[in-house]
Amino acid sequence: MELSYYKLKFTSPLHIGTNRPGFEFTDEILHSDTLFSAVINMWALLYPGDMALFLPGGGEDSLDFPWFQVSSAFPYQDSCFYFPKPFVRLNTGDKTNQKDPRIAKKIKQLKYLDQTLFEKAIHNEEIRIPECSFSGNGQFLNAESGQKRSPDQAPFAIYDVPRVVKDRRSGSTMPFSFTRICFQKKAGLWFAATFSEEQWAKRFRAALNLLGDTGIGGDRSVGHGQFSVADTGIMELKVPADTRHCLTLSLYHPKTAEIPAIREGASYQIIERKGWIFAGISKPLRRQAVRMFKEGSVFGNSPSCGGDVVKVLDKDSAPGLDHHIYRYGIAFPIPCRAGGK
């Protein structure tokens, strides 16, 4: 399976908001809905005539984008691409390894697999944990036999910066912490994208370049979240054939009609997506919360998965908006063999 990938090299710290209040927490990956929305905002500046394609007539509650799909953005380091750990039981070999509490603890801490191990995982092939190396406090697993990586060799480091907020009226101050991500010299985030026509790929790249200059995530006003597209190309991902299951590399909001098909053999986690929207107006607006399946979720009986783009804010209930606000929930499916199927 060929994947078109984009590698983002961040030139400034990055803060990715979470559902937790305050700035003391940051996410580690750019979820597909955030990435998609940020690119579309830049797309609107460069190609305003294309917005009719993203905003359906009649005020529908959801729409499809079969001609344009993106995955979430995951860490990379040098030439190593990391993937989310699938939400299935990894094949770690014989029963002795499977019952070893030390191995079970290591697997529980894992968040990312390098491409070699990810391909083994989606084929349900054996992964011998003692022969692999961990990094990033056990969150990253690499197929490097006999080599060990220290925690500081992870693609990024997360640290807090002390700040102070000052009340305009009383002049009183209150300290708080702002959490940021800083990437190693040859590390960043990567994502995959598919396009039905070459013209969309060219316009997407232009919007992505502009987004890099503008920044993504929190604190863009002070230069956070700026990046350049370090590399783009085609990745050859080995996927299983003749399987009924699929794994999503993006957030997934299924249509009602899709739920019965994906229910059998499903293994997943759910994340709630909420917060504020930016639509070129001065007043921030809170959008409706949406629950989606997380990256790495596995589903059965639906090799192509699906999903939709759901309306999260009606223009009639938000003064200043000239269109409805939608949230991207299209799955980015990868064939996966779960439990030998």
Instruction: Quick: pLDDT tens for 3-18.
Output: 999 999 999 999 888 8
Q: Say how far residue 174 (Cα) sits from the centre of its chain.
A: 33
Least confident residue range of 33-37, 181-185, 219-223, 298-302? 298-302
pLDDT at 55 over 80: no
The answer to whether residue 208 scores a pLDDT higher than 90 is yes
CA distance 322 to 5: 34
Greatest CA separation for the chain? 68
Q: Which residues, other chains included, contact 43 with Cβ-Cβ below 8 Å and sequence gap of 6+?
A: 50, 51, 54, 203, 204, 207
Residue 193 pLDDT: 95
Domains of the chain (ranges, CATH numbers): 1-55+73-78+156-238 (3.30.70), 81-154 (no CATH), 243-341 (no CATH)
Confidence tier at 278 by pLDDT (50, 70, 90): low
Mean pLDDT of the 282-286 span: 68
Give me the long-range contacts of 309-315 (CB less than 8 A, separation at least 24).
309/62, 309/63, 309/64, 309/65, 310/61, 310/62, 310/253, 311/59, 311/60, 311/61, 311/62, 312/277, 312/287, 312/288, 313/277, 313/285, 313/287, 313/288, 314/59
> 196 vs 66, 69, 165, 200, 201, CA distance in Å?
8, 9, 48, 8, 9
pTM for this predicted structure:
0.88
Cβ(65)–Cβ(194) under 8 Å?
no
- Mind listing the pLDDT tens digit for each residue in 89-134? 888 876 555 567 777 788 888 999 999 999 999 999 988 887 888 8
Question: Per residue in 161-190, pLDDT tens?
Answer: 888 888 888 888 888 888 889 999 899 999
Phi-psi region at 307: left, alpha or beta (left = phi > 0; alpha = psi -120 to 50): left
**Nearest CA-CA partner of 270 in 295, 299, 245:** 295
- Cα separation, 29 vs 285, in Å, equals 23
Cα→Cα distances 80→141, 191, 223, Å: 11, 13, 27
Of 176-180, 273-277, 302-306, 315-319, the one with minimum mean pLDDT is: 302-306
pLDDT value for 146: 46
pLDDT beyond 50 at 247: yes
Mean pLDDT of the chain: 84
Q: Has residue 154 got a pLDDT over 60? A: yes
201 by Cβ neighbours in 10 Å (0-12 / 13-18 / 19+) ranks as: middle
- Cα–Cα separations (whole angstroms), residue 241 to 10, 169, 334, 338: 36, 65, 11, 12
Sequence-ordered list of residues with C-beta below 8 angstroms from that of 18, at least 6 positions apart, any chain: 25, 26, 27
Short-list 260, 259, 264, CA closest to 245: 264
pLDDT band at 288 (very low <50, low <70, confident <90, very high): confident
70-79, 143-152, 279-288: segment of lowest average pLDDT: 143-152
Predicted pLDDT of residue 48: 87
* Res 103: pLDDT: 76
Cα 314 from Cα 331, distance rounded (Å): 24
